[in-house]
Chains A and B, each alone.
Chain A
Amino acid sequence: MSKEPAAPPSTPDAPPALELCGIDKRFGAVHANRAITFAVAAGSSHGLIGENGAGKSTLMNIVYGFHCADSGEIRVQGRTVEIGSPQQAIAAGIGMVHQHFMLVENFTVLENVVLGVEGGALLAGGLAAARAELGRLARDYGLEVPLDAVVSELSVGLQQRVEILKALYRGAEVLILDEPTAVLTPHEADQLFAMLRRLRAQGKAVILVTHKLREIMAVTDRVTVMKQGAVVAEVATRETSPRGLAEHMVGRAVLLQVEKRPAQPGAELLSVKALEVRDRLGVARLKSVSFNLRAGEIVGIAGVAGNGQSELLEALAGTRAASRGEISFGGRDLVREQLDPRARRALGLAHVPEDRLRMGVVAGFSAADNAILGYHDAARFNRGGLRDEAAIRAACAAKMAEFDVRPPQPELRLAAFSGGNQQKLVLAREIDADPQVLLIGQPTRGVDIGAIEFIHKRLIALRDAGKALLLVSVELDEILALADRILVMNGGEIIGELARADATEEKIGLMMAGVRAEVSP
């Protein structure tokens, strides 16, 4: 990714395109934004970075009119504006591309773009006018989208383009993008960055909200770092480094790359042969997948979300039935014997599910109860047919101490913990059972940088203890940081395998997009 020089603002004295002055917001006891002040010049791009819960989203929701600030001012082109609703934000020239797209899936692109600015009570005239205007925008900014395609049939990258078009069509001069690359392939992300540079060159102000340091470095001119609701640093991007930003975010030095020794793979622990999974409609979601896992290695599964990784994890864990194939583990065939997840756990096959809140925990239960979920029948948690509350609490307290779960209160409802601490508890629970193989999906989704470091270290320690790990992650950085061997999935198949030493982001990115290893240059 090359970094182009920023287009200078039109005149040195021009007021900033967007200026936030002392924005303050409380939700009850939570001080979400503390006197936030920063400015974004027209023709520049500004990064807003911070961990989950740092207050980035709250701030952007205030700018877009979803929330009202308790105090502070928003200025657009030097004028103070009152933004109490998205409509006022749009009128002020602020556009937002949300992380979860705000598109009506069964509408066409054209219908989605005009929704809210139809230009008359009857659709026909407005749609024709919009079609012409969108043609112009597409030419000016390189935003080609098939206008009559139904949105649900477009790729995620194109859907994001529709969102950007929506904002531009409404005359946005300030474009806010919230975690825009979370759902993109590396290639699509590069296309997005190119698009953002073009917008910047045309004089738009771009605000990129993210927790990914790489993106900040790739496309922004200045960056504001938020922590616990306050701005802790504002620097020119070229004068900082990922490491420097991470330190600001966490408040201490962080290791972005966890140290690890080369793997010492041992005996084969698990092998998968020609595994096939069909969904309810009979469509094959997993097509003849074969691979093996050896003791003392981490195998990473890379791929754009929705290419069969989830199905693979679930088929291995036993939460989804395989229609064909073989999973050999501990001398048994898990598919033929149709072992349920509990039996597989008992054999030493533990599972940290991808969707923690839906499949890994019960958010309304206490941390102590969550820490024994799935193992609640173990003799050490029961006495005389009843739960042994003291033992359960003690076990949870021990796990919390070992995994640095904060606050260390076993009786607290799990929902009250941050994502990182929830994940640490789930990991502690699964590791505590001393599995031979650990299946782990999206280990750091919704987890802050400090906790990511901790979780990565634990996973490597587990590998060094001679266990086998299967890591599914949509974060390519994470795969590259942890895996010893990388399998890339596309369309329900393993499309290629790379040793860590041979793997580069470009190679994996091509495979993720469906280009097979043999034909890639």
Chain B
Amino acid sequence: METYTLIVLLLAATIRVATPLLLAAMAGLFSERSGVIDLGLEGKMLGAAFAAAAVSATTGSVWLGLGAGILTAVALALVIGYACITHRGNQVVAGMAVTIMVVGLGPTLGLAWFNLGGQTPQLDGAGQRFTGILWPWAETAREVPLPGLLYAELLSGQNLLVYFAAALVPFSAWIFYRTRFGLRLRAVGENPHAVDTAGISVNGLRYQAVIISGVLCGFAGTYLSTAASSGFVRDMTAGKGYLALAALIFGKWKPWPTLGACLLFAFTDALATRLQGVALPVVGVVPVQFILALPYVLTVLLLAGFVGQAVAPKAIGVPYSKEK
């Protein structure tokens, strides 16, 4: 294979891996900028993945699946919100609790409903999955070396959720920095007292942020089970929620840098997959476990070494009460 074909395929894989990561990171962005730590990302995604696959398999409509995924993730987000915002509970504990609950609940319900060892049925019917959308002349363009291949492999042929995720970044940036809602959201994560004295409901804003996080997690989970694969598998998020959180921190809680972090993490993941079983110069074939650990090793190194300057929203993790 020619080098640039290899690179283009690597980039295509990056996009596939980056999509759920980006959706989850944007979800976390809304929640955390409002001051609520989003350790429930993993659980909300996993719950949505299960609900989307189950509904899509039962009804035959991936759109109903998406709806179910969003509803499930929002419901889980509201559980976290109720515990952390209304009752000022510990945000880390609430998020972890929801994640742990879903890890067990998904396969259990799956077993009860479908009797397939905790998985959902294979989504192979028409309209049961989000599939790639071919752009005009994609096949023709493939013949043109580099630009054509990029058009055919990267721009064209992705599914709707990928385009949605890509559009989400500029849209989020616009929301955060150009709208009233964004101003208030950023304020409530920095100094909720200022927001309260300005006559705006702190809890109301945080609930809105948490619900948005739920909706976006719904998209992320749906992508995993109905676009990236065809059905729900136990633990299919495989730590992506936490990786998204790491990307969010590496991206300093800002939309565009977070996109960069997601792409970087996704690229190492794609590279790792590509490197499996390949004999490298000097070291020979690297054990597959080592290669699979690569993205996470990179995460630890990046978070330890390169984000020293990252300043978290000041009020993050602190339940709001009027008394100082």
Q: Which residues on A are within 8 Å of B, measured CB to CB?
A: 64, 66, 85-90, 96, 98, 100, 102-107, 111-112, 114-118, 120-124, 126, 166
- Cross-chain contact B181 with A115 (CB below 8 angstroms): no
Q: Which residue of A lies closest to B197 (CB)?
A: A102
Known: A121-B181, A122-B179, A123-B183. A102 touches B200 (CB 8 A): no
Give Cα A114 to B194, complex, Å: 12
Q: Which residue of B lies closest to A61 (CB)?
A: B322
Q: Which residue of A lies closest to B178 (CB)?
A: A123
- Name the B residues within 8 Å of A102 (CB-CB): 191, 193-194, 196-198
Q: Identify A87's interface contact among B183, B190, B193, B199, CB under 8 A.
A: B199
Give Cα A111 to B179, complex, Å: 11
- Cross-chain contact B194 with A103 (CB below 8 angstroms): yes
- Name the B residues within 8 Å of A122 (CB-CB): 178-180
Contacts A105-B190, A116-B199, A123-B183 supplied; 17 other A-B pairs, CB < 8 Å: A85-B199, A98-B197, A100-B193, A102-B194, A104-B187, A104-B191, A105-B191, A106-B190, A107-B183, A107-B186, A107-B190, A115-B195, A115-B200, A116-B184, A120-B180, A122-B180, A124-B178
- Name the A residues within 8 Å of B183 (CB-CB): 107, 111, 114-115, 118, 123
Q: Which residue of A lies closest to B187 (CB)?
A: A104
- Cross-chain contact A126 with B197 (CB below 8 angstroms): no
Q: Which residue of A lies closest to B199 (CB)?
A: A87
Known: A122-B179, A123-B180, A124-B178. A104 touches B186 (CB 8 A): yes
Interface majority SS (helix, strand, loop, mixed), chain A: loop
> How distant is B185 from chain A, measured CB to nearest CB, in Å?
11
Contact with A along B183-224 (1 / 0, CB 8 A): 110110011011111111000000000000000000000000
- Point out which of A100, A111, A114, A116 has the most chain B C-beta atoms below 10 A from its C-beta: A116
8 closest cross-chain pairs (CB), A and B? A116-B198, A87-B199, A102-B194, A118-B180, A102-B197, A86-B199, A104-B190, A104-B187
Known: A85-B199, A104-B191, A105-B314. A115 touches B184 (CB 8 A): yes
> How distant is A58 from chain B, measured CB to nearest CB, in Å?
11
Q: Identify B200's interface contact among A106, A107, A116, A123, CB under 8 A.
A: A116
Give Cα A58 to B198, complex, Å: 19
Of the A-B pairs whose beta carbons lie under 8 Å apart in the complex, a sample of 21, sorted by A's number, is: A64-B197, A66-B322, A86-B196, A88-B199, A90-B199, A100-B324, A102-B198, A104-B190, A104-B194, A105-B190, A106-B190, A106-B314, A112-B194, A115-B183, A115-B194, A115-B200, A116-B200, A123-B177, A123-B178, A123-B179, A123-B183
Interface majority SS (helix, strand, loop, mixed), chain B: helix
Give Cα A166 to B180, complex, Å: 17
- Name the A residues within 8 Å of B178 (CB-CB): 122-124
> How distant is B165 from chain A, measured CB to nearest CB, in Å?
24
> How distant is B296 from chain A, measured CB to nearest CB, in Å?
29
Give Cα A494 to B295, complex, Å: 53
Q: Which residue of A lies closest to B198 (CB)?
A: A116
> How distant is B23 from chain A, measured CB to nearest CB, in Å?
25
Which residues of B283-324 have CB atoms within 8 Å of chain A's CB atoms?
311, 314, 322, 324
Which residues of B150-198 have CB atoms within 8 Å of chain A's CB atoms?
177-184, 186-187, 190-191, 193-198
Give Cα A90 to B200, complex, Å: 11
Give Cα A107 to B186, complex, Å: 9
- Point out which of B179, B183, B195, B196 has the most chain A C-beta atoms below 10 A from its C-beta: B183
> How distant is A134 from chain B, measured CB to nearest CB, in Å?
16
